[in-house]
Copies of this chain bind each other. A is one copy, B any other.
Amino acid sequence: MNAIVLSIGDELVLGQTVDTNSAWLSRQLASLGCEIAAHLTVADDQRSIEDALREAATKCDFLIVTGGLGPTQDDLTRQALAAVLEQPLELHPQWLAHLEEYFRQRGRPMPATNRVQAMIPRGARMIENTSGTAPGIDADLLAAPHTCRVFCMPGVPSEMKAMFQRDLAPKVAAATAGRVILSRILHTFGLGESVVAQQLGELMDRSRNPSVGTTVSSGVVSLRLNARFDSAGRAQDELDRTEQLCLAALGDLIYGRDQQTLPQVVGQMLLDRSATLTTAESCTAGLLAKMITDVPGSSRYFHRGWITYSDDAKTDLLGVDPELIQRHGAVSEPVVLAMAIAARRKAEATFALAISGIAGPDGGTPAKPVGTVCIALAHPGDAAARTFHLPGDREMVRQRCANMALCLLRFHLLGKSPPF
């Protein structure tokens, strides 16, 4: 069983809106054991929609269409579907009554333009919309030699998601009967993608099941494990085995799985030790603290932080000796060490992370080019600092730098040296 996800909208093809529906639908479909052959996006143009429906139907069992079911002139999905099915659009009296009731409840008369939303091609089935005015359409489209089942849903994410879960998911599950595609994601930070791939070796063979692939974002190299089997139990077992092999290959470089983030993982480690953390940030100027507090409940281990963007601020707020800054520069290991030690003492925290760096675009020198960052960790009994040269633009350097700081704390909490 496979599916194609077809999204319709001028705002999508023109790039004014990023299509998030296709990704959400694909995750749902995969979890139901349905392969996704492709995503396709076309404009609010009847001819383009018709062509897309006709072609896609030949290549999939389920064609999941979103968008173009609204009441306005640029909503053309139902007309295109009717044309491809070679059936007239017919008024669905029950849905018309439902629509009129929808507007009555909101104390407004139904605009005449909304009447088209009660129409579906003859022979097709209506899908109820519990949260909006556009019902979905469920139709069988003959694409010899097979028949493709076409589901049209509104493009509004909340309406689409409710409709998929209530109506489509059971139908897809019934058709895939046992077959599953289960996924797991393992996150690493600290080494480049090709080094990670090298260490994984033949685990990345394309013919392997579960397969292992890699992607990168803000320096986080993620392994994506996909298992395709005839039962969920088997797929889970195989994912577990492959995860063990990845762990054997990469060890502590793997910090989390699936939706886990580095701030969550480090936060949990702090909680486990009843420890607290504070921050003193120069080039990241709040980003590290923001990331730490992205985690609900982070107030149990994070209470305060300092943003010392200027040299004076480092001296005024954290008592860093101006001569130290003068001698070594604000981006130096002695200065971040002083920042971390002062922040830890002032916050009475177990740990302090301090960051100073050159995020760019300006401020680089031959000795300290853009991307040079110093990170210090102060902990009970001691403090240590390291210098890194991070690639990328201003945003990338700041993101990687904050991730690196969290990663250094994580390895300290593990009681191990980072493998980089």
A31-60 residues with Cβ-Cβ distance < 8 A to B are: 36-44, 48, 52
Docked complex Cα distance between A285 and B27 (Å): 31
Question: Which listed residue (B194, B303, B317) contacts A114, Cβ 8 A?
Answer: B194
Whether the Cβ atoms of A72 and B197 lie closer than 8 Å is yes
Residues of B within 8 A of A296 (CB): 360-362, 394
With A204-B72, A285-B289, A312-B303: A18-B13 Cβ-Cβ less than 8 Å: no
Interface assignment of A305: CB less than 8 Å from any CB of chain B: yes
With A74-B204, A158-B396, A204-B73: A18-B15 Cβ-Cβ less than 8 Å: no
Whether the Cβ atoms of A111 and B193 lie closer than 8 Å is no
Whether the Cβ atoms of B30 and A12 lie closer than 8 Å is no
Give, as a whole number of angstroms, the nearest-CB distance from A15 to chain B. 3
Question: Which listed residue (B52, B198, B226, B281) contacts A10, Cβ 8 A?
Answer: B226
> What are 13 of the A-B contact pairs (CB < 8 Å)?
A15-B23, A15-B29, A15-B36, A16-B215, A38-B52, A71-B193, A74-B214, A156-B216, A158-B396, A285-B305, A286-B288, A289-B309, A296-B360
Interface assignment of A188: CB less than 8 Å from any CB of chain B: no
Give, as a whole number of angstroms, the nearest-CB distance from A217 to chain B. 8
Whether the Cβ atoms of A39 and B39 lie closer than 8 Å is yes
Interface assignment of A373: CB less than 8 Å from any CB of chain B: no
Docked complex Cα distance between A3 and B292 (Å): 42
User: Closest chain B residue to A302 by CB distance?
Assistant: B309
Q: Which has the most chain B C-beta neighbours within 10 Å: A7, A30, A41, A226?
A: A41
Docked complex Cα distance between A393 and B156 (Å): 13
User: Closest chain B residue to A205 by CB distance?
Assistant: B73
Give, as a whole number of angstroms, the nearest-CB distance from A369 to chain B. 11
Residues of B within 8 A of A27 (CB): 14-16
Interface assignment of A220: CB less than 8 Å from any CB of chain B: no
Whether the Cβ atoms of B281 and A286 lie closer than 8 Å is yes
Residues of B within 8 A of A113 (CB): 194, 197-198
